[in-house]
A = this chain, B = another copy of it.
Amino acid sequence: MNQREGPVTARGQKTRQALLDAACEEFGSKGFYNASISSITRRAGVAQGTFYLYYRSKEEILRALVDHMNRSMRRAQSEAVQNANHRVDAEVAGLRHFMRFALEHRSLYRVVMESQFVDPEIHRSYYQTLADRYAEHLSKAQQRGEIRAGDPCAQAWALIGVAYFMGMRFPVWEEREPPEDFMATMEDFIATALSPAPRPDAGERTTKGDRQMRGSH
């Protein structure tokens, strides 16, 4: 993403990585705006000026972090899901796996969330990319009849929303994974939400009007 080249030797790579890690800790614990470059370089064990050999600005290293999260998540999620033969299972497995990932990368996850208030564009693009990938999978799954009909983007968005909040509630706030029964309901929630409607000939209710009638008996 138009990133400064900077030193490229092995030593240089190590410094760059040290800065990235340090920034992750620093942003994650203090928040972007309360973090300071001097504290980052202190954590990384380099001089202040060194920072600018590798990153053009405080915001650029944030972008690098979001980028990093993007790649990590993609890899991690695709691994987590590779054994699922059914999209619903994949989503369920994905949610559970995400909880572990978010816990392990709490700081990084927090940074991504905060990026919305620093560089909305990058945050937006992060989630858009994520949603698009989701949507594509969902779309194909719909064609296979594995999941319920409907706008795949909306479904993707909904799934991400659920995961987002879970990630905030447990890994970030409480620094632990959700309790098992909580998790079970969550999985049931999304599994149910995605599961295909019974065939129309079954005479089942599916509309709002239907439900309202029933409610007014």
A16: interface (CB < 8 Å): no
- Are the C-beta atoms of A185 and B85 separated by less than 8 Å? no
- Given A89-B208, A89-B211, are A181 and B151 neighbors across the interface (CB < 8 Å)? yes
- Are the C-beta atoms of A88 and B182 separated by less than 8 Å? no
- Are the C-beta atoms of B208 and A158 separated by less than 8 Å? no
- Are the C-beta atoms of A158 and B154 separated by less than 8 Å? no
Cα A113 to Cα B188 in complex, Å, equals 27
Give how many copies assemble into the complex: 4
B residues less than 8 Å from A163 (CB atoms): 161
A32: interface (CB < 8 Å): yes
Contact with B along A97-136 (1 / 0, CB 8 A): 0000000000000000110111010001000000000000
Question: Interface centre among A89, A124, A165, by most B CB within 10 Å?
Answer: A165
Q: A143 CB to closest chain B CB, in angstroms?
A: 15
Interface of A is mostly: helix
B residues less than 8 Å from A154 (CB atoms): 178, 181-183, 185-186, 189
Please name the residue on chain B nearest to A195 by beta carbon.
B192
A41: interface (CB < 8 Å): no
Question: Interface centre among A32, A86, A158, A186, by most B CB within 10 Å?
Answer: A158
- Are the C-beta atoms of B161 and A182 separated by less than 8 Å? no
- Are the C-beta atoms of B208 and A191 separated by less than 8 Å? yes
Cα A155 to Cα B154 in complex, Å, equals 18
Chain A residues packing against B (C-beta within 8 Å): 31-33, 84-86, 88-89, 92, 113-114, 116-118, 120, 124, 146, 148, 150-151, 153-155, 157-158, 160-166, 168-169, 173, 178, 181-193, 195, 197-198, 204, 206, 208, 211-212, 214-216
